[in-house]
Amino acid sequence: MQGPMPQVNEHGGGVWSLRVPIPDNPLGHTLVHVLDTDRGPVLVDTGWDDPASWTELTCGLAALGIDVPDVHGVVITHHHPDHHGLSGKVREASGAWIAMHAADTDVVRRTRAAEPGTWLDYLARKLAAVGAPEDHLVPLRAARTSGRMRTLPGLRSALPDREIVPGELLDLAGRRLRAIWTPGHTPGHVCLHLEEEHPSRLPGHGRLFSGDHLLPGITPHIGLYEDPDDSTVTDPLGDYLDSLERIGRLGVAEVLPAHQHAFTDAAGRVRELLDHHEERLTGLLGLLATPLTPWQLAVRMEWNRPWDQIPYGSRNIAVSEAEAHLRRLVKLGRAEAVQGTDPVKYVAV
């Protein structure tokens, strides 16, 4: 093997994590967890579908004495490509099953079946409806007519063959791993509660594989669920906040997230995130003293850099986040749509 040794971390009690790099992404890497079972190793998430990431994953497993063909199963926290990307390759090499929550499996199925232009059409329609200026829509229309469309990640991702059922134990020989449905970041995100005593006897109820739901130093992106075929008015931020409270009540001894590092005091981190979102919603209400379209709100919201320095694709994600916050405020009765506006404007109540 070439290059530095893969970063393998032993968490005790038959649990390890491997750092699998995400190419060209500030997040750096996905923590793929390996769980020993009586029928062989099971992976929690797999990493980005890229040759270098695959090499890191296989080298990491080899360092634990695991050949990829030995992998028994793959449990996926959510459909994003930094978690589910390599699942197909693992299954090809091992025959492992792949388990996912039905709502995220639907997203995978839809993405695989979508005509190439569907997503661009949806995005252009949606951005126009939220008040995006014409110059923002031009590149989308150009990509549509030229046929030069960047392939969306996840277009060829593997279709899961097992369903993760909320509240139930996964069928893992010799382990107690319970699925906790935590929608918000995606509609079918799950955390996985390892209901076994902590190997270092830390106080609390076992450990939690938290995916992207609960991370020690990052607030996960909460946008809309973005389903071109479904006009149901969902409330992803409301889902996320409810899911956070549910996780906070588990009283786990340690959290094993899919990025950054393991940490304790899940309840404290949950409180921080709940406070953060409450502050953010209150801040938005201040902005909404004047009626604003979702686009105008996104431009005025606080991001990690000034709006004019936010790249094109990230602006689309930012608008989705602004919309998720508006949905929440409307649902709470703290904001409402202004009658007769098109694109529709919202104002604080």
Residue closer to Zn ion by CB (options 80, 101) is 80
45 binds Zn ion (CB under 5 A): no
The least CB distance from residue 38 to Zn ion, in Å, is: 29
Contact region for Zn ion (CB under 5 A) — 72-80, 143-151, 154-162, 326-334? Answer: 72-80
Give me the least distance between CB of 110 and Zn ion, in Å please: 17
Handedness of CA 136, 137, 142, 148 (dihedral sign): positive
Q: How far apart are CB 44 and Zn ion at their closest, in Å?
A: 12
What minimum distance in Å lies between the beta carbon of 320 and Zn ion?
13
With both helix axes pointing from N to C terminus, report the angle between 266-287 and 236-248 in degrees, rounded to the nearest 10: 150
Among residues 56, 82, 226, 323, which is the contact residue for Zn ion, using CB under 5 A? 82
CB-based contacts of 210: which residues, under 8 Å, 6+ apart?
A: 77, 191, 247, 255, 256, 257, 258, 266
The Cα diameter of the chain in Å comes to: 65
How many amino acids of this chain bind Zn ion (CB under 5 A)?
A: 3
Which residues touch 117 (CB under 8 Å, ≥6 apart)? 144, 149
User: Any idea what the Cα angle at residue 218 is, between residues 231 and 60, rounded to 5°?
Assistant: 105
φ and ψ at residue 31, rounded to 5 degrees:
-90, 110
Name which position in 19, 79, 80, 277 contacts Zn ion (CB under 5 A).
80
Quickly list H helices, 149-265: 236-248
Chain-centre distance of CA 108, in angstroms?
Answer: 13
212 binds Zn ion (CB under 5 A): yes
Shorter beta-carbon distance to Zn ion: residue 27 or 128:
27
Q: In angstroms, give the least distance from the CB of 77 to Zn ion.
A: 8
Is residue 321 near Zn ion by the rule CB under 5 A? no
Q: Which of residues 4-23 bind Zn ion (CB under 5 A)?
A: none
By C-beta, is 36 or 82 nearer to Zn ion?
82
- Closest approach, Cβ 207 to Zn ion, in A, equals 19
8 A C-beta contact, residue 204 and residue 251: yes
The residue with its CB nearest to Zn ion is: 80
Minimum distance, C-beta of residue 183 to Zn ion, in the bound complex (Å): 12
Output DSSP code: residue 68: G
Distance from C-alpha of 158 to C-alpha of 100, rounded to nearest angstrom: 11
Q: Nearer Cβ to Zn ion, position 179 or 253?
A: 179
**Which residues contact Zn ion by CB under 5 A?**
80, 82, 212
